[in-house]
């Protein structure tokens, strides 16, 4: 698997990967939001608060996943954005590899940043294994039967302090 920055030519592959995860991981209504969001990436000339930190994962020249983050250095906070792997490639370790790639980029840019994300009840155990903690659950947030789990990962220094 190769991980590289997103380009507008990647949109069809990202959309296909997204659709493969509906309706279990994404509500069908979210597809239009995601498509518009990708279009917004394509028209930006300058990175804006880290919005252009979006990557694709390729296997055999085909986009199989994507994900990015926003970075707010002033708040010392990074927010994960639209991370996913095509359904046919789940349970192969590629989702974790893409996620850890993004997390390592964040840590290289802002070692003391807290990392936050929102996900569903279907994916939150994946993030718990990495060290994220659930801070809030909102029932049916994304659609009927798709609850929102807000999660956070503290910087390594704060994790060790809170464990003491």
Q: What is the 3-state secondary structure (H, E, C) of the chain?
A: CEEEECCHHHHHHHHHHHHCCCCCCCCCCHHHHHHHHHHHHHHCCCCCCCCCEEEEEEECCEEEEEEEEEEECCCCEEEEEEEEECHHHCCCCHHHHHHHHHHHHHHHHCCCCEEEEEECCCCHHHHHHHCCEEEEEEEEEEECCEEEEEEEECCHHHHHHHHC
* Res. 62: pLDDT tops 70: yes
Please tell me which residue, 19 or 161, carries the higher pLDDT value.
Answer: 19
* Res. 51: pLDDT tops 50: no
126-163 pLDDT, tens digit each: 999 999 999 999 999 988 889 999 999 988 655 444 44
Domains along the sequence of the chain with CATH: 2-163 (3.40.630.30)
Can you tell me the mean pLDDT for 36-51? 66
């Amino acid at each position: 698997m190769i991980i590289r920055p997103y380009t507008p030519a990647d949109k069809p592959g990202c959309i296909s990967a997204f659709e493969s995860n509906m309706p279990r991981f994404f509500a069908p209504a979210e597809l239009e939001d995601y498509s518009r969001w990708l279009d917004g990436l394509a028209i930006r000339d300058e990175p804006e608060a880290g919005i252009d930190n979006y990557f694709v994962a390729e296997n055999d020249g085909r986009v199989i996943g994507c994900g990015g983050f926003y970075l707010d250095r002033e708040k010392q906070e990074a927010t994960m954005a639209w991370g996913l792997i095509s359904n046919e490639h789940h349970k192969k370790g590629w989702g974790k590899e893409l996620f850890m790639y993004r997390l390592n980029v964040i840590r290289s840019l802002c070692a003391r940043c807290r990392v936050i994300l929102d996900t569903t009840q279907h994916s939150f155990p994946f993030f718990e294994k990495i060290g994220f903690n659930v801070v809030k659950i909102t029932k049916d947030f994304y659609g009927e039967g798709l609850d929102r789990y807000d999660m956070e990962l503290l910087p390594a220094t704060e994790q060790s302090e809170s464990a003491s």
